[in-house]
Amino acid sequence: MDKHEAKTKLANIMEKFIGLACKRLPDDVYAKLKELREREESEIQKVIYDTYFDNLDKALKLNRPACQDTGLLHFYINCGSEFKYIGIVEAALREAVANATVSAPLRQNAVNYFEERNTEDNTGERMPWIHWEIVPDNDELEICVYFAGAGCCLPGRAQVFKPSDGYAAIIKYVFDAVSDLGLNACPPFVVGVGLGHNVENAAVLSKMAYLRPLGTTHAHPKGAKLERDLLEGLNSLGIGAQGLPGKQVAMEVHVESSARHTATIAVGVSVSCYMHRRGFIKFNNDLEFDFSKSYKGVSI
Ligand code: SF4
């Protein structure tokens, strides 16, 4: 397959995958929402969850996005150093997004700065947003697509503290950010916390954290404990689905970290919403694909 054929093939597959992922929650998120519904006790919480599931069923039956805000398209890519079509990936994703805007359909959300003009196909300057990681000695391409909505993940926060503020500053910052950002999102959400050394890397880590599959934990036992403690604390605020009184404002808290400078502590917070539409798809060097990590028993 030459590069032109590969680009067309990848774009076509990704257009269909975007169409799937904007309508169907990934299996782990759907299962988590079912679990939370059973744990809530108040009648109003059960009604909200039932409405969520009804909405998700109707999205599939009517073949339309499960929430009107299909967001800006973010792609987080793990690309093997031996994946042979690396050069056409970005162009294929732009084409896929533009075509999926019509075929899915997606709401037209991308606006160019300085011209104040909606581009009408969800592409634009550095849009879709693509984050690359190169995986050594690997020949696969894994793409995570995320529909980054304006009420949830786009208004994230990041700040740099001094070590003299102590690690307690991290906890306060996360609680302040979640109780503020959570007002705009539709809970329950996944909270991503990035611990790093500057604003940029803490923000990126917070995004990587909330993309992690549910049920996974930070690699360090203390990081995993921090995740559990933050979840327990946030879920004791008395906020439930849709911000009404309830027992669970968060599905999970995920922490990702990097080493920090001796004189900085940086924290980033990203909050999703119950419509946590993120899908993983993996390609080999023949562009054969598999998305069973996110959706089992489904085809496109
Ligand atoms: S917060 Fe999520 S579910 Fe609510 S409107 Fe935004 S994208 Fe949709």
Give me the pLDDT at residue 151, please.
84
CA 229 to chain centre: 22
For the chain, the average pLDDT equals: 96
275 lines ligand 1 (CB under 6 A): yes
**pLDDT per position as a tens digit, 195-234:** 999 999 999 999 999 999 999 999 999 999 999 999 999 9
Instruction: State phi, psi for 24 to the nearest 5 degrees.
Output: -125, 130
pTM of the model: 0.95
Determine the average pLDDT of the residues in 262-287.
96
Q: How many CB atoms lie within 10 A of CB 260?
A: 17
Please check the confidence at residue 182 and state whether its pLDDT lies above 80: no
246 pLDDT band (50/70/90 cuts)?
very high
What's the confidence (pLDDT) of residue 116? 93
Residue nearest to ligand 1 atom 1, measured at CA = 185
Domain with CATH 3.30.360 in the chain: 3-23+65-149+277-290
Model pLDDT, residue 184: 80
Q: What is the pLDDT of residue 155?
A: 87
What sign has the CA pseudo-torsion 85, 90, 93, 98?
A: negative
d(CA 281, CA 290): 6
Q: How many CB atoms lie within 10 A of CB 70?
A: 26
- CA nearest ligand 1 atom 4, residue: 186
Average pLDDT rounded to a whole number, residues 40-48: 96
Report the nearest atom of ligand 1 relative to the CA of 67.
8
CA-to-CA separations, 37 to 3, 32, 211, 249, in angstroms, rounded: 47, 9, 22, 12
Average pLDDT on 285-296 reads 97
Residue bearing the CA closest to ligand 1, atom 6: 151
**Does residue 152 line the site of ligand 1, with CB under 6 A?**
yes
For residue 183, the model assigns a pLDDT of: 67
Rounded CA-CA distance 192/3 in Å is: 37
If one counts every other C-beta atom within 10 angstroms of the C-beta of residue 128, the result is 22
Look at residue 152 in the predicted model and tell me its pLDDT.
Answer: 83
Q: What is the distance of C-alpha 87 from the center of its chain? A: 25
What pLDDT sits at residue 44? 96
pLDDT at 181 over 80: no
Rounded to the nearest whole angstrom, what is the distance from the C-alpha of residue 68 to the centroid of ligand 1? Answer: 8
CA of 268 to the centre of ligand 1 (A): 21
Residue bearing tokens 């950002």: 181
pLDDT exceeds 70 at position 142: yes
Domain 3-23+65-149+277-290 has CATH 2.60.40: no
Q: Which of 199, 204, 109 is nearest to 148 (CA)?
A: 109
